[in-house]
Amino acid sequence: MTQRNIRNFSIIAHIDHGKSTLADRFLEHTGALEAREMEAQVLDSMDLERERGITIKAHPVRLTYTADDGQTYILNLIDTPGHVDFGYEVTRSLSACEGALLLVDASQGVEAQTLANAYLAIDHSLEIIPVINKIDLPSAQPEEARRQIEEIVGLDGDTAILASAKEGLGVHDILEAVVKRLPSPGGDPQAPLKALIFDSWYDAYRGVVIVVRVLEGTIRTGTKVRLMNAAQDYEVEQLGVFTPKPVVIGALGPGEVGFVACGIKRVLDAQIGDTVTETARPTAAPFPGFKALKPMVFAGLYPVESHQYSELREALEKLRLNDAAFFFEPETSVALGFGFRCGFLGLLHMEIVQERLEREFNMDLVTTAPGVLYRVTTTDGAVTEIDSPAKLPDVGTIAKIEEPVITATVLTPSEFVGPILQLCQDKRGVQKALEYKASDRVLITYELPFNEVVLDFYDRMKTISRGYASLDYAVTGYWTSPLVKLDIMVNGEAVDALSVIVHRDRAYDRGRQLAAKMRELIPRQMFEIAIQAAIGSRIIARESVKALRKNVLAKCYGGDISRKRKLLEKQKEGKKRMKRVGRVEIPQEAFLAVLKVGEDG
Amino acid sequence: MAAPATTADRAADELMPAGLYLHIPFCEAICHYCNFTRGVLDEAVKSAYVSALVTDISRAPERGAEVETIFLGGGTPSVLSPAELARILDACRGHFGVAHDAEVTLEANPESASLERLEGYRAAGVNRLSFGVQSLDDRELARLGRLHSAARARQAVDEARRAGFSNISLDLMLWLPEQRTDDWHRSVDAVIEVAPSHASMYLLEVYPNAPLREEMMRRQWSVAPDEEAADMYLEGLSRFEAAGYRHYEISNVARPGFESRHNRLYWTGGHWLGFGCGAHSTWHGRRWRVMPGTGDYIRAVSESRPVRLDIRDVPPTEQLEEALFMGLRLTEGVDLQAIRERWGVDVLARYGDDLAPFLEEGLVQVTTSGRLRLTRNGMLVANEIMVAFIGDAVQ
């Protein structure tokens, strides 16, 4: 197989636009897997991903395709994560490709994230083949999608291929286009090795497995290699490709994509974006653009039952083996006891970690409100990064607080522009641009405090646009803001795990809403419970939960004591899921109440 | 393993009184709120059921056991003819050592009572009637889908007296749809005027799938707020007490000497054998239930197949927990010294942390005579308190 017959490409698509189904059709069409032996959507390997219809990481697949020209091609399908939390991983995946399929849902049209990723692909000089999918749906408007590809993305709409991955329509045309329209990779097989890591995971048997795209030179089993950024040397133990089953091979040349096992112990040592070269004959410069993944959103994770602390730590350690972007360190809360402050790339990443802990590790967790990384300058000139409201220094010693700012792009049908602009203003945003891309589509660019977005921006945007507006963002800087710590006191005691950092002008409203929400969430107990919101020593809102006066006085009929016992056991289970703070039992969801305050208005 | 550890304990356990519970799963109509094992009356099925019940009783391996109470519950046991009832009670007396002064209770619906019938029951050996009147307000009864009126209920009590019954209990419900404080007070006063020897008051619990729930939504019926319901309960008790009744259990009041002996078995760790479909038994540390289906039960008995399901020995820790959470239903509470002697457990030491907030709020108290008891406010939130005694569920 010559380099000329290799094509490396990825699929850019919005969640639910049919990426996984199309990938499955490729496998079927190229005979990589018989339709029968294939579980639906083989590429999404984790259950969680499949359930949510989102792919975080899928293995690259090597397809062997005999084209209409009679030649056999190797097509490497490289997956890109489908969510804004994983933007950096997208850029690395695109760097491993010469081309991309831009998959657009024929009834939904182009969405903000598709647009953002399409621009990224264009920036990486990728050749793009637009594909209009789901043309079988009654609501399909392929001509509208074509127009949007032309007017919004700026690609030639006439070159778009009409397809229905579900029905298998257009699959052959797409594969032919990949062969004909995408360039073959360059690179000198004799040059010093330069390979880009674009995925890695922990394997219990082989240690960390990395996935590379060879750019220059050749990697062979037994080669001594160096990870340039990590500055660590290893010996290649195993090389292979996914067909999608892993198949071991002896060497990977320029343009090829495959996995490498070389005894790396932690995914942290093999970060995405790092460059692999030969130890003995290193390449002149690493592949540009490496950056260590940095968590942006932080929350406290606590076991509901304190004896599960060490189990939680083990679970977090296991997750971290496979997730370089995930960060945790021990944290103690007066209210919640021993737990961990955890850092995530974004909210989805946080939800995924939470769900995996609960599902795979059977942990019962209390999660505190997510926040961002603040930069605090104290009066002595020192600058510290604060990932938790509890770590905010004494007000008197703070010179200034800076908060991370994102540049957000919202793509919306024009009818929702007004409410979305209003929302952005409410969220303390600064408008950067407003472009009418097509007659009915508007691209809004705003700078927004990341904290506001973490709280409830996305949900509210979806609500006011009836689901039509889409969002993409990246953290682009810091602002100095008048931020204050808002405390919630329950029966006179400040509950540290409920504190949040908010903008001074919003503190009063937030406090009031938060106290009201807590009143709803805390069930009546044997005594009256006072809930107060406070800034420093100033109480800004009060609520109370009246004492429970009665529950049901049921008959214990005909001596059925087992039933009575079951009722009491159920009640006890309910109590166990609460955290006792002083004498008050606080349900888990109350610690996330701050996320819910916007919902009522 | 289930029986208490020492011979002394065993002796204490043996001394606890015993009773029989007989389940009659038929009703003339299904109440809108009911969740018990029952079906609408069919004469042929009823007749077959009575035969099955008699056969089941006469085959019980506990032959000869001494019992002090018999309770016929349902369903509506008053759908039985006096002759059927006599057959059943004769079977009990033929197989068990039924005490000559045994309490024999029959649950009855006011609408199915008549002087003749009640006289027949009395002749068959019934000496206590428990009427499910629920309310003495016709509008409330109609909302519950009950067939009788308040007048009919009064008449039934009158007929019962004429038939020779002096031990009569009336069931009252509170927290009924649309029932407000004044309505409740009127019902309580009306019951006091009828002057039964015993009365029960329960809060209506509307099960998720009860037709009443749907009807309440459709008709937009509401129930009193919690605060008001709590006060209704307390005021009801006060009125009964003022009229000479003693509040002896969370939901029960009685004139002195007329407390339910059968129900006391449940609250004080006694023994009872349940017969008939869906009946529960707790017998010397062992527990089981009878298969729930009426037809299944009749067939199983006629084919001589076992009808007892889920037979298990109750572990001592569970027995202790039950002694506490059932015992706390009684106004007198539980005797801490007796618990210590029987189970070797210091209740206040073991459960003190969990009980502290309740003690502090005056919901639970330890009397000078060394009893742990719920106060009246505590009784309103009894479940919250009883949870303290529940060990972690066995997974």
What residue of A is the nearest CA neighbor of B310? A562
A510-562: pLDDT as tens digits: 899 999 999 999 999 888 999 999 998 899 999 999 998 888 766 666 788 88
Residue A598: the pLDDT is: 58
Task: Determine contact, residues A79/A62, Cβ cutoff 8 Å.
Answer: no
pLDDT of residue B37 exceeding 80:
no
What pLDDT is stored for residue A64 in this prediction?
93
- Segment A566-584 shows an average pLDDT of 85
* Confidence (pLDDT) at A66: 94
Per-residue pLDDT at A105: 93
For residues A111 and A429, the model is more confident at A429
Q: Which residues 6+ apart lie within 8 Å of A413 measured at CB? A: A440, A441, A442, A465, A468, A469
Rounded to an integer, the average pLDDT of A259-267 is: 90
Question: What's residue B280's pLDDT?
Answer: 96
pLDDT of amino acid A140: 93
Interface probe with B: pick from A305, A527, A550, A577, most Cβ of B within 10 Å = A550
Quickly state the pLDDT bin for B6 (edges 50, 70, 90).
low
User: Using the beta-carbon criterion (under 8 Å), do A572 and B73 form an inter-chain contact?
Assistant: no
CA distance A106 to A142: 5
Q: What is the pLDDT of residues A428-441, one digit of tens each?
A: 999 999 998 875 78
Tell whether B36 lies on the interface with A, counting CB pairs under 8 A: yes
Give the rounded percent of residues in chain B with a pLDDT score beyond 70.
Answer: 92
Confidence of residue A102 (pLDDT cuts 50, 70, 90): very high
Q: Is the peptide bond before B75 cis (omega within 30 degrees of 0)?
A: yes
pLDDT at B1: 38
Contact list, A558 vs chain B (CB under 8 Å): 21, 23, 71, 73, 274, 278-280
Q: Which residues of A touch B384 (CB under 8 A)?
A: 526, 548, 551, 571
Indicate the SS3 state at residue A208: strand
A593 token code pair: 């109440």
Residues B248, B252, B253, B259, Cα dihedral to 10°: -70
Q: Is the omega angle on the peptide bond into residue A244 within 30 degrees of 0, that is, cis?
A: yes
Kindly indicate the confidence band of residue A601, based on its pLDDT and cuts at 50, 70 and 90: very low
Q: Could you state, in order of their start, the residue ranges of all structural domains in chain B?
A: 7-267, 316-394
Q: Which of A140-154, A310-324, A448-462 has the highest mean pLDDT?
A: A140-154
Report chain B residues whose CB lies below 8 A from the CB of A552.
203, 205, 383
Strand A238-242 relative to strand A246-249, pairing: antiparallel
Beta carbons of A550 and B233 less than 8 Å apart: yes
Task: Give the mean model confidence (pLDDT) for residues A476-499.
Answer: 92
Say if residue A49's pLDDT is above 50. Answer: no
Q: Which of B203, B250, B272 is opposite residue A559, by nearest beta carbon?
A: B272
B152-171 residues touching A, CB cutoff 8 A:
none
Residue A56 has pLDDT above 60, yes or no: no
Predicted local distance difference test score (pLDDT) of residue A252:
96
A307 inside 8 A of chain B by CB: no
Segment A214-234 shows an average pLDDT of 95
Please name the residues between 475 and 534 in chain A that touch chain B, using a CB distance below 8 Å.
524, 526-527
Grade residue A599 by pLDDT with cuts at 50, 70 and 90: very low
Nearest CA-CA distance, residue A555 and chain B, Å: 7
A-chain residue closest to B326, CA distance: A561
Our CA-based measurement puts residue B307 at a distance from the nearest CA of chain A, in whole angstroms, of: 17
Report the pLDDT value the prediction gives residue B29, as an integer from 0 to 100: 66
For A238-252, A321-335, B89-103, B130-144, which range has the lowest pLDDT when averaged over its residues? Answer: A321-335
Lowest mean pLDDT among A196-205, A346-355, A592-601: A592-601
- CB contact, 8 Å: B354 with chain A? no
Under the banding of pLDDT at 50, 70 and 90, the label for residue A51 is very low
Residues of A with Cβ-Cβ distance to B229 under 8 angstroms: 549-550
A70-93: per-residue pLDDT in tens? 999 999 999 887 666 777 888 888
d(CA A35, CA A23): 12
Give the A:B interface size as CB pairs under 8 Å: 106
Cα B309 from Cα B279, distance rounded (Å): 10
The Cα–Cα gap between A466 and A469 comes to 8
Say whether pLDDT at A337 is over 60.
yes
Report, as an integer, the average pLDDT of A304-315: 90
Q: How many CB atoms lie within 10 A of CB B307?
A: 22
Superfamily of domain B7-267: Aldolase class I (3.20.20.70)
CATH classification for the domain delimited by B316-394, as one of 1.20.58.220, 3.40.800.10, 3.40.50.9100, 1.10.10.920: 1.10.10.920
| Chain B interface mutation, best of A307, A527, A553, highest count of B Cβ atoms under 10 Å | A553
* Percentage of chain A exceeding pLDDT 70: 93
pLDDT at A222 over 60: yes
pTM of full prediction above 0.95: no
CA B150 to chain centre: 23
Q: How distant, in Å, are the alpha carbons of A21, A405, A526, A596 from that of A65?
A: 18, 46, 71, 51
Residue A120 has pLDDT above 90, yes or no: no
